[in-house]
């Protein structure tokens, strides 16, 4: 699919399964359990994640899922299932099973097709509440906030179903690649969920397509910080200071989102790195250096963080150069005249 919405359409498709929010979760009957006990969807909140042993992104989620199981204990059941053969899973678990503190099974083709119809890749996860109903679906890296709310009984099922329908409608609109069809679908989604990650990204593309930078300010000024996850706040902050077209950046809003993210998770190095970039965009180079150093102290092996710091330090050194300062003083004096 070509055009400005082509790549976004693919990303959207990845986020959708044909199973709807609020539907009863299909049975995993016929699954060959290799690690862990049989499941009971109505006993506790359940994560069902589909993965493959050859998928690097899937393997990277193993520590995350184990951490979630440890965090919530008997209030949560983490189940990972795969279409890989029993033999392949047994071989993988033999080598890595001590890192996988959750159930692992090999599903039948029927079960896999039922859950994963419309989903082109893994990993992909579902949250199932104590009533056995699907409350969320998507990439497991995005699961933390909605999982916490589900376990605490703080979800609004009707609102989740409405957002699911609107996301599906936006997905269908993206298939047309027609901005005149996409725009109202995106507006409807953002009206119901102003902080919707997909809706805001599409809104950004629409603003650029329509050459309306004011749309960016309007969208991001309307987001209610109450209930906004640190992850999404950080995503929005980064989006607003990395857009390739400078006219569509909004560092003032990015600052607010970064502060919100760090208040919730003050020891997150990735959030510090984004905050440093925001400060740099706001011409606060000294504090950008301070926060990038903090990010590196928590992630000493992160080469990307180090490159950012080196860049900020080089700018600071340049600004201390006498020739550089003399040039800008001269330029300023000519501008005044």
Query: Each residue of 199-232: pLDDT tens digit?
Result: 998 999 999 999 999 999 999 998 888 778 888 8
What is the value of pTM for the model shown? 0.79
Containing 124, the helix (H) or strand (E) segment is: strand 124-128
| Residue-range domain boundaries for the chain | 15-153, 156-223, 232-337
Domain 15-153: give its CATH architecture: 3-Layer(aba) Sandwich (3.40)
Ranges of residues in the chain with a pLDDT under 70 are: 1-16, 38, 321-337
Q: What is the pLDDT of residue 11?
A: 44
Question: What is the predicted pLDDT for the residue at 333?
Answer: 58
* pLDDT value of residue 224: 83
Task: Give the pLDDT of residue 24.
Answer: 96
Asked whether this chain's domains 15-153 and 232-337 adopt the same fold, the reply is no
Of 3.40.50.150, 1.10.3720.10, 1.25.40.10, 1.20.1730.10, which CATH number belongs to 232-337?
Answer: 1.25.40.10
Name the H helices within the chain.
Answer: 6-14, 56-60, 62-72, 86-96, 109-116, 144-151, 157-176, 179-192, 197-209, 214-221, 230-242, 251-264, 269-281, 285-298, 303-319, 322-336
**Whole-number pLDDT of residue 275:** 98
The greatest distance separating any two alpha carbons of the chain, rounded to the nearest whole angstrom, comes to 82
pLDDT value, residue 9: 43
pLDDT of residue 336: 44
For residues 111 and 104, give the distance between their C-alpha atoms in angstroms, rounded to a whole number.
15
> Of 63, 45, 12, 265, which Cα lies nearest the Cα of 136?
45
What percent of the chain stands above pLDDT 70?
A: 90
């Amino acid at each position: 699919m070509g055009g400005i919405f082509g790549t976004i359409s693919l990303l959207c498709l990845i986020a959708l399964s044909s199973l709807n929010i609020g539907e009863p979760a299909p049975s995993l009957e016929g699954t060959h359990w290799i690690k862990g006990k049989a499941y009971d969807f109505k006993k506790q909140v359940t994560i069902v994640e589909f993965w493959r042993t050859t998928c690097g992104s899937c393997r990277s989620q193993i520590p995350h899922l184990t951490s979630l199981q440890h965090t919530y204990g008997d209030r949560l059941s983490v189940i990972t299932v795969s279409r890989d053969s029993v033999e392949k899973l047994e071989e993988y678990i033999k080598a890595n099973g001590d890192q996988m503190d959750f159930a692992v099974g090999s599903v039948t083709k029927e079960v896999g097709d039922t859950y994963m119809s419309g989903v082109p890749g893994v990993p992909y996860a579902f949250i199932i509440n104590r009533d056995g109903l699907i409350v969320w679906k998507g990439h497991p890296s995005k699961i933390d906030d909605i999982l916490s709310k589900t376990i605490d009984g703080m979800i609004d099922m009707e609102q989740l179903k409405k957002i699911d329908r609107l996301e599906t409608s936006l997905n269908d609109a993206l298939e047309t690649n027609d901005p005149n069809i996409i725009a109202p679908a995106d507006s409807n989604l953002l009206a119901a969920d102003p902080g919707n990650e997909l809706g805001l990204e599409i809104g950004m593309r629409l603003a650029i397509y329509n050459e309306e930078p004011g749309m960016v300010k309007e969208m991001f000024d309307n987001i209610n910080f109450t209930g906004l996850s640190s992850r999404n706040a950080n995503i929005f902050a980064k989006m607003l200071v990395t857009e390739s077209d400078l006219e569509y950046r909004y560092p003032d809003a990015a600052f607010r989102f970064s502060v919100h993210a760090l208040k919730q998770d003050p020891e997150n190095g990735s959030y510090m790195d984004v905050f440093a970039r925001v400060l740099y965009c706001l011409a606060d180079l000294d504090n950008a250096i301070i926060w990038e150093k903090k990010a590196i102290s928590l992630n000493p092996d992160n080469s990307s963080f180090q490159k950012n710091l080196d860049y900020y330090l080089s700018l600071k050194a340049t600004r201390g150069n006498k020739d550089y300062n003399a040039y800008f003083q001269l330029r300023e004096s000519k501008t005044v005249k």
